[in-house]
């Protein structure tokens, strides 16, 4: 009966899709692009030439001062002046280099700082790899456990004595976690089961539920014990906190502020959205109060007021007070960023989560916050960059961070009045740090964009 239809009606044309063509490529090379962009009209050409000339002189002067006429080897400022009066005197910065990086940390113990920073980076390395066991816990463990390792290395003392047993135990657990993390990484690359599964057969003989968790805990404790035994054999020279300084201290303060900003910010932001009046008003007061006050006053308040409010027998050093202040400050700003992200999440996401049966915590942690944070990456990164720069303010209340060390150079009798070179060096250093952070944020944004 199909034949009948075909005969009566005109045959339908058959649609054949046009074959795809490769996309258009630009044929212009570097020179083509420059000519097209910069010399496409007389006015533009003139402008290009003017700017190029100005740029050339600027760069030439800077290079003359910083490189060609600069002095790299000298004993004091006078010698520098004699050798080359109109060049930079890097010799001063070089002779103070150690101080700029480590502050007044004893020279013989500086390896501990290096190891500590290295450990911190090594800990985060697994984040680079896409699929490795325990990856979800890397960041969490870093935030929760790394500070103990850092504290142990930087403060020193006999194991479990000066810093207390709890701190010692946490240090061992932290190191044990790191060991398991890396062992698992290697084992999984070899196609073997993770170290934390070691006791699964044994544990499964005694219990039926949570076998994997129990096995993990058992392995963790065991490795921790071994490490504890190892650590108890060595005693590190104690280094008091007021010897900490330089870039090292800046990193500690900024690193603490940056890692605490998101957790504190999330708590404050969620608190502000809470339906419970007490929590709502409390969060709001903290956010608005801290945000309406310059960081420098927050710092001063922390140092002068905190000891008054807290019980007298609670001992505080200046660094702890500063860390608390910076953490509050960072959290309050971050809270507003995160609140912006939260507001952009459509109501449907909450409803979908609710119909699946997810509770408040699950909904927030699994559904809402990942999206909100992703959306706010540019703002969050901007906050982080300002935080890194703002932490140099702590020099004003007398912490020997890189800024104060730099200003100290000018007070050294050999290098009296040398202000410019250290500041230039710090500017370059901060530019490199902040620029890489902003590049990383762009990269992160691009990588996460696929999802939308």
Partner 1 sequence: MTTSCGNLAQKAVTETAIKIDNLNKWYGDHHVLKDVSLDISEGEIMVVCGPSGSGKSTLIRSLNHLEEYQEGVVSVFGQPLSRDRQSHKIIHQTMGMVFQNFNLFPHLTVLQNCTLGLTWLRKMSEREADKMAMRLLDRVGIAHLATRYPGQLSGGQQQRVAISRSLAMEPKIMLFDEPTSALDPEMVKEVLDVMIDLAKTGMTMVCVTHEMQFARQVADRVVFMADGEIIEVGPPEQVLVNPQWDRTKEFLQHVL
What is each CA distance from 176 to 141, 195, 222, 223, 233, in whole angstroms? Answer: 11, 11, 9, 5, 17
154: nearest Cα among 104, 107, 109: 109
- Of 4 and 450, the one with the shorter C-beta distance to partner 1 is 450
Is the distance from CB of 72 to CB of 91 less than 8 angstroms? yes
Interface pick for partner 1 out of 66, 187, 358, 429 (rule CB under 8 A): 358
Does 276 participate in binding partner 1 (rule CB under 8 A)?
A: no
Mark the segment that binds partner 1 (CB under 8 A) among 142-150, 194-202, 332-340, 351-359: 351-359
Minimum Å gap between C-beta 211 and partner 1 is 11
Minimum Å gap between C-beta 294 and partner 1 is 36
What CA–CA distance (Å, rounded) separates 115 from 226? 20
Minimum Å gap between C-beta 358 and partner 1 is 7
Mark the segment that binds partner 1 (CB under 8 A) among 29-37, 95-103, 197-205, 345-353: 345-353
In the 8-state DSSP scheme, what is residue 127?
G
Does 351 participate in binding partner 1 (rule CB under 8 A)?
A: yes
Minimum Å gap between C-beta 349 and partner 1 is 6
Does 193 participate in binding partner 1 (rule CB under 8 A)?
A: no
What is the Cα 280 distance to its own chain's centre? 29
- Of 237 and 351, the one with the shorter C-beta distance to partner 1 is 351
Is the distance from CB of 187 to CB of 193 less than 8 angstroms? yes
What CA–CA distance (Å, rounded) separates 197 from 211? 9
Minimum Å gap between C-beta 450 and partner 1 is 6
Does 292 participate in binding partner 1 (rule CB under 8 A)?
A: no
Interface pick for partner 1 out of 348, 413, 446, 447 (rule CB under 8 A): 348
- Of 311 and 357, the one with the shorter C-beta distance to partner 1 is 357
Phi, psi of 19 (to 5 degrees): -65, 145
Does 76 participate in binding partner 1 (rule CB under 8 A)?
A: no
Interface pick for partner 1 out of 118, 352, 396, 442 (rule CB under 8 A): 352
3-state secondary structure at position 252: helix
**Residues 367-386, interacting with partner 1 (CB under 8 A):** 367, 370-371, 374
3-state secondary structure at position 188: helix
Minimum Å gap between C-beta 377 and partner 1 is 12
The upper half-sphere exposure of residue 49, i.e. CA atoms within 13 Å in the direction of its Cβ, equals 8
Task: Give 291-331 as a DSSP string.
Answer: HTS-HHHHHHHHHHTHHHHS-TT----HHHHHHHHHHHHHH
Does 451 participate in binding partner 1 (rule CB under 8 A)?
A: yes
Between CA 419 and CA 428, with CA 422 as vertex, the angle to 5 degrees is 130
Binding interface with partner 1 (CB under 8 A): 346, 348-349, 351-352, 354-358, 362, 366-367, 370-371, 374, 448, 450-452
């Amino acid at each position: 009966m199909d034949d009948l239809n075909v005969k009566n009606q005109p045959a339908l044309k058959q649609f054949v899709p046009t074959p795809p063509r490769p996309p258009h490529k630009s044929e212009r090379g570097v020179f083509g692009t420059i000519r097209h962009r910069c010399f496409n009209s007389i006015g533009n050409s003139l402008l290009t030439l003017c700017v190029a000339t100005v740029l050339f002189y600027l760069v030439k002067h800077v290079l003359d001062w910083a490189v060609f006429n600069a002095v790299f080897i000298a004993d004091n400022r006078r010698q520098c002046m004699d050798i080359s009066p109109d060049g930079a005197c890097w010799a001063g910065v070089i002779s103070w280099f150690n101080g700029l990086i480590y502050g007044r940390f004893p020279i013989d113990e500086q390896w501990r700082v290096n190891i500590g920073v290295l450990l911190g980076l090594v800990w985060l390395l697994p984040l680079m790899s896409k699929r490795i066991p325990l990856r979800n816990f890397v960041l969490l463990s870093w935030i929760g456990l790394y500070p103990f390792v850092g504290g142990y290395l930087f403060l020193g003392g006999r194991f479990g004595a000066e810093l207390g047993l709890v701190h010692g135990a946490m240090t061992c657990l932290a190191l044990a976690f790191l060991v398991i993390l890396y062992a698992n990484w290697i084992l999984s690359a070899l196609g073997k089961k993770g170290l934390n599964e070691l006791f699964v057969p044994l544990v499964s003989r005694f219990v039926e539920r949570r076998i994997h968790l129990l096995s993990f805990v058992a392995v963790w404790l065991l490795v921790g014990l071994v490490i504890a035994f190892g650590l108890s054999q060595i005693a590190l020279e104690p280094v008091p906190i007021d010897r900490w300084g330089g870039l090292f201290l800046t990193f500690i303060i900024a690193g603490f502020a940056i890692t605490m900003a998101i957790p504190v910010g999330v708590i404050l932001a969620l608190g502000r959205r809470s339906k419970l009046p007490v929590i709502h008003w409390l969060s709001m007061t903290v956010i608005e109060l801290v945000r309406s006050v310059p960081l420098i006053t927050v710092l001063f308040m922390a140092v002068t007021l905190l000891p008054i409010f807290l019980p007298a027998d609670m001992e505080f050093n200046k660094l702890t007070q500063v860390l608390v202040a910076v953490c509050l400050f960072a959290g309050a700003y971050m809270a507003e960023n995160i609140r912006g992200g939260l507001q952009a999440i459509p109501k449907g996401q909450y409803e979908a989560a609710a119909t699946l049966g997810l509770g408040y915590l699950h909904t927030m942690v699994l559904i809402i916050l990942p999206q909100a944070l992703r959306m706010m990456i540019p703002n969050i990164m901007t906050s982080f960059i300002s935080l890194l720069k703002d932490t140099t303010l702590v020099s004003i209340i007398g912490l020997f961070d890189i800024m104060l060390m730099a200003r100290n150079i000018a007070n050294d009798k050999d290098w009296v009045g040398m202000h410019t070179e250290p500041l230039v060096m710090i500017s370059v250093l901060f530019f490199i740090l902040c620029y890489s952070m902003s590049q990383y944020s762009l990269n992160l944004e691009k990588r996460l964009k696929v999802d939308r």
